Structure 1
Amino acid sequence: MDLEITGKRALVTGSSAGLGAAIARLLAAEGALVVVHGRDVARASRVASEIGASGVAIGDLSTDAGADAVAEAAGDVDILVNNAGAYDHLGWTDATAADWTATYEANVVSSVRMIQRCVPGMRERGWGRVIQIGGGLAIQPMAMQPHYTATLAARHNLAVSLARDLAGTGVTSNVVSPGAILVDSVRELLTSIAPSHGWGTSWEEIEAAAARDLVPNDIGRLGRPEEIAAAVGYLVSPAAAYVSGATIRVDGGTIRSAH
């Protein structure tokens, strides 16, 4: 495919592994000048080398100093994909107020910091794409991880507000909302809990059972990082020039909604 982004500068936060790396890989393959972001120099540099990225930006986006360092290293960004975030497996009884605050800082304010640093330049140049990586739990939360799911809802909400603010500028703001995606950490988690759920021993058995019992969907499996990257690719392409303030769900039908 040709997304017509050759020469566009793209920053994908949290792209030193997993979903972010897959997004960075697709954008680089399409000719974008991709900046790989992470907090570990070795990991980020390895991904950058593998995909032919144009640079690496290291910094903790939950701090102003970290965001400043990343923005300076990234330069004039045309495409911002806010993917970086954090989550744990705490529930209402054990997630403290401090946990809520730290998760909000990592998942919401971090995105705001990068928007504030990157979007003004997009406005001036009259073209830009801002994409939040959200999730279906933003609109259909479960009992567990209330602090995490609340931050997903905030990411969805801020993307729409930003779209309204960017009206007529040539810059769009949208959300890609993944379901359960097969990255290394998810595979490790499911494999570790499979015995207690009676999900079998082979990965094929475990994945099918998890897609049935844990994250029910119409496809019967977990999503792949490349499928999320493809949705990001659509949103940065000319084909999505008329898409603003939208949420594109890539979840196999996990979310049961007619709107």
Structure 2
Amino acid sequence: MDLQLQGKRALITGSSAGLGEAIAIMLADEGATVIIHGRNPERAAAVASSICKRGGLAEVAIGDLSTDTGADEVGQSALAGGPVDILVNNAGAYEHFNWTTALPAQWLKTYETNVLSGVRMIQRLLPQMRARKWGRIITIGGGLATQPVSGHPEYSATLSARHNLAVSLARELKGSGVTSNVVAPGAIRVKAVEDLLIAAAPKYGWGTSWEEIEKGAVADIVQNDIGRLGKPEEIAGAVAYLVSSYADYISGATIRVDGGTVRTVA
């Protein structure tokens, strides 16, 4: 299927590794020019280089989106090569705090990194999308936005804010030709998740092989109907669909890619 992304330019924040990298690779494979964002120039350049070696088109934008200055730098770099048609707000941070250790300063830091980073990029890139009467804004959310647990309260709250702002933005964009949607991953097999589960394996008695650890984690921590962790390319596929012309009639929606972890009818 041709997703008709030839000639489109896409900025994927936090794309020097993990989910963001997978999204960038898939959009590039579909013909879009992708702008790789990160805070580490070497890592971002390596991802861009790997995409170019696959025959894709990739540029780099470096900056810390938790600050206005960093967001200005990223916006200027992204727009230097031409208008940006697609913004994927993927950048964010996840740390291990609870209601005792997540002090107010940590809440503020997490909010700057996970929520205001996306707001900053929307405000810098949306005007030219409006002017061209076409654009796609995708927010990467998560199941903890709607089904929080006792731990990581500051992180779950920021996910909820991301979902909320994406729907509010969709209402704002009525009739503009620009859409705003959410892709909400479940537990996805990226390096950070692998490291976390491998470290937890002895506590739960899951075994030592990845197959044993994944099976145990799905049974004890990240229950879902599929019986495994998700793959980065499965998230990328949902994003690719939403930014394509086939999703013109979708706005303000949340697509859950979580194996059935979230149990709601809405």
Q: TM-score, normalised by structure 1?
A: 0.99
Residue aligning to 1:59: 63
SS at match of 2:10: strand
2:181 aligned with 1:177, yes or no?
no
Residue aligning to 1:230: 237
Task: Determine the C-alpha separation between the residues in 2 that align with 1:212 and 1:163.
Answer: 36
RMSD value over aligned CA atoms? 0.6
**Deviation per CA, 1:50-107, whole angstroms, max 9, x where unpaired?**
1124310000000000000000110121000000001101000110000000000000
Q: Supply the AA of the counterpart residue of 2:152.
A: Q
Residue aligning to 2:258: 251
1:46 is displaced (CA, Å) by 0.2
**Deviation per CA, 1:99-155, whole angstroms, max 9, x where unpaired?**
000000000000000000001100000100000000000000000000000000000
2:49 aligned with 1:49, yes or no?
yes
Task: Determine the C-alpha separation between the residues in 1 that align with 2:46 and 2:12.
Answer: 15
SS at match of 1:174: strand
Alignment of 1:127-206 (within 5 A): 127-206=134-213
Task: Determine the C-alpha separation between the residues in 1 that align with 2:3 and 2:129.
Answer: 18
Residue aligning to 1:72: 76
Q: Supply the AA of the counterpart residue of 1:21.
A: E
Q: Supply the AA of the counterpart residue of 1:70.
A: V
Task: Determine the C-alpha separation between the residues in 2 that align with 1:205 and 1:147.
Answer: 31
Residue aligning to 2:115: 108
Query: How many residue pairs are counted as aligned between the two chains?
Result: 259
Q: TM-score, normalised by structure 2?
A: 0.96
Q: Supply the AA of the counterpart residue of 1:24.
A: A
Residue aligning to 1:29: 29
Task: Determine the C-alpha separation between the residues in 2 that align with 1:168 and 1:196.
Answer: 53
Residue aligning to 1:9: 9
- Over the matched positions of the two proteins, sequence identity in percent amounts to 67
Task: Determine the C-alpha separation between the residues in 2 that align with 1:127 and 1:116.
Answer: 15
Ranges in structure 1 where 5+ consecutive residues have no aligned partner: none
Does the Cα contact within 8 Å between 2:142 and 2:184 map onto a contact in 1? yes
SS at match of 2:159: helix
Ranges in structure 2 where 5+ consecutive residues have no aligned partner: none
Runs (4+) of structure 1 moved beyond 3 Å?
none
1:238 is displaced (CA, Å) by 1.4
SS at match of 2:87: strand
Task: Determine the C-alpha separation between the residues in 1 that align with 2:14 and 2:187.
Answer: 17
Task: Determine the C-alpha separation between the residues in 1 that align with 2:246 and 2:31.
Answer: 17
**Deviation per CA, 1:16-56, whole angstroms, max 9, x where unpaired?**
00000000000011110100000000000000011124310
SS at match of 2:224: coil
Task: Determine the C-alpha separation between the residues in 2 that align with 1:54 and 1:16.
Answer: 12
